[in-house]
Amino acid sequence: MAKTISLWSIIGTLLLLAMACDPEEPRPDPKLILSFEEVFFSHEGEAQEVEVNANLPWQASSSETWCTLSAPSGEAGVAQLAINVAANTGAESRSATITVSIDQVTKNITVTQAGAEVLQLSDSEMEIGENGGEYTLGVTASGIFEIETSPTWLTVSATSQQELQIQAKRNPVLAAREGIVRLKLGGVVQEVTVVQSGQALQVAPDKMGMELDALPLADQILLGWNLGNTLEAASSPEVAGETLWGNPMASQALIDAVKNAGFNAVRIPCAWSGYIEDRETHRLSTAWINRVQEVVDYCMNNDMYAIINIHWDGGWLEENPTYDKQEEVNVKMKALWEQIAVAFRDYDQRLLFAGTNEVRKDYGTPTSEYIEVQQSFNQTFVDAVRSTGGKNSWRNIVVQAYNTNIEHAHNFLELPQDPTPNRKMVEVHYYDPWDFALDGNSNKYLWGKDYEGSANASGWGQEAWVDQMFGLMKSDFVDKGIPVVLGEYGAILRSSLLSVALENHKKARNHYLHYVTKSAMEHGLIPFYWDNGHTGNNGFGLFNRHTTAIVQADAVEAIVSSLD
């Protein structure tokens, strides 16, 4: 029996064939939207995502190997394109292009990465000479950097972004020292350690600027003033401080005022023991040496003469001229004077060194022991200074009589041996009569021939005594070619006196100041008025140390008029 084909089967087959032969649906136009077309990265490198919104499958690529894609393709819809950027170790910024495409439609993402913070120095350590100077430091930097220096003896100036000039001051001490130059650029810090060698203890003699022997140099020092109770302020051999005794720190303006008033020399009493940093070696603080140099420079800036010494200094030196202390004191004194002499070795002849101040055991007539020990201090001072060489081989130096007393100088002083001839001076002080000049509790507030026989005038120490004492110094020393420095003299102002008594006291005091100054000059002594900065009752102060104004114009005139 023949098979028959159902009509519906035929119709169904024809329909399927018809459907199979229909053309394919058209592909939609590509649509591509990116959330960012520009992305920025720091130099450290990181990952960021860009949102891709596409109606068709897409693909992406990067133009640079340092910029990679975690998922470089995706399907239709919304997807995240992860961009990974490696760290940029170079100083320059860089860029890459991310290309995202669907068929012929492309969009670009610009990737920019910052350069690294680069800061490199040509040296991590620099060695410089003891006398300082200027040194070059090479710098490689990707931007503007900050500069810090420590301590203050180092300064830096930038000649360019590639080169710095490091300036170092002279190292005034024997020990080497270190400083730091620090550069900062963002979070990058680089340092160079500057090591400066110390001064040599001994150098060859240098006579430049040291032409004058003691006598002709003394002729140039006309009238001196003491910066008293300031750099020598100390409460013990271990504790010192410039303002400890109530005066402000010395200033250039003060020394200018002193010069303008008519003085051409300044005696600068100094403490040192309280500034020792190592008690075994007696090593001094560089900061304190720098401060004393600063004050000396105030004088040099005015073309004035200056004297520095070891003053009372807590008493370790001044109060111990005894056999049991002799070796200990001389060892310490030698160590200090070697350091002081080295620090000030390059100063010219306008700077003088004075070994001590008023060395005494008591105020009576000294024993042979006291004289012998005190004069050993003078010898230690001379030996220490001369041993350092340089300009110190020729420097004029000042040695003291026992307690700087004129009669003791006449009776006992033997000058120390000195390998440099004609470069020594002698120092004495004068406060006679004591009850007028220094004793604020005394009723002896008058002085001089106009008050002879007064109950308020001392029965000794008047004009004839002044001339007699200074005459001894002239015959004992000045006439033998040895100048004498009258390192201190003066009389207190008893401003608490009333009415006529105060008027007469000022008249007497001014006469005293004029007569003593004039007589000193006439006998060849170099007078240095003692100013302790105290301008109140029983004070010696001529200047207001805070304002630098003259507060006792009559006293200044009495002193300065002696030059006429």
- DSSP lists the bridge partners of residue 47 as 84
Residue 521: phi and psi, rounded to 5, are -60, -45
Tokens at 371, concatenated: 């004289």
Residue with tokens 């060849």: 524
Question: What is the rounded CA–CA span in Å between residue 323 and residue 335?
Answer: 19
The rounded distance, in Å, linking the Cα atoms of 329 and 384 is: 14
Residue 470's CB is within 10 A of a number of other CB atoms, namely 25
**Counts of helices then strands in the chain (DSSP H, E):** 11, 31
Give the 3-state DSSP-derived string for 398-456, with helices as H, strands as E and coil as C.
EEECHHHCHHHHHHHCCCCCCCCCCCEEEEEEECCCHHHHCCCCCCCCECCHHHCCCCC
For residue 151, cis peptide bond before it (omega within 30 degrees of 0) = yes
Is residue 210 classed as helix, strand or coil in its secondary structure?
Answer: coil
| Max Cα-Cα span within the chain | 183
Query: Over the Cα atoms of the chain, what is R_g?
Result: 43
Phi, psi of 544 (to 5 degrees): -75, 115
d(C-alpha 305, C-alpha 308), whole Å: 10
Phi and psi, residue 121, nearest 5°: -115, 150
Phi and psi at 298, nearest 5°, equal: -55, -40
Rounded to the nearest 5°, which phi and psi values hold at 205?
Answer: -60, 145
Q: How far apart are CA 99 and CA 299, in angstroms?
A: 77
Tokens representing 538? 């029983």
Nearest to 495 by CA among 456, 455, 535, 530: 535
State CA 492 to chain mean position distance.
Answer: 35
Answer yes or no: are the C-beta atoms of 271 and 232 closer than 8 Å. yes
Which of 414, 488, 503, 522 is labelled catalytic? 488
Q: How far is CA 290 from CA 152, 169, 171, in A?
A: 10, 11, 9
Q: Are 169 and 133 in contact (CB under 8 A)?
A: no
From the list 358, 407, 414, 463, the catalytic residue is 358
- Are the C-beta atoms of 273 and 319 separated by less than 8 Å? no
The dihedral sign for the CA sequence 536, 539, 540, 546: negative
Give the DSSP per-residue string, 9-27: HHHHHHHHHHHHTSPPPPP
Reported residue count of the chain is 564
Residue 211 a catalytic site member: no
Cα four-point dihedral sign 67, 71, 76, 79: negative
User: Is-catalytic flag, 358?
Assistant: yes
**What residue type is 39 in one-letter code?**
V
Q: What type of residue sits at position 149?
A: T
Secondary element (H or E) of residue 341: helix 323-343
Active-site annotation, residues:
358, 488
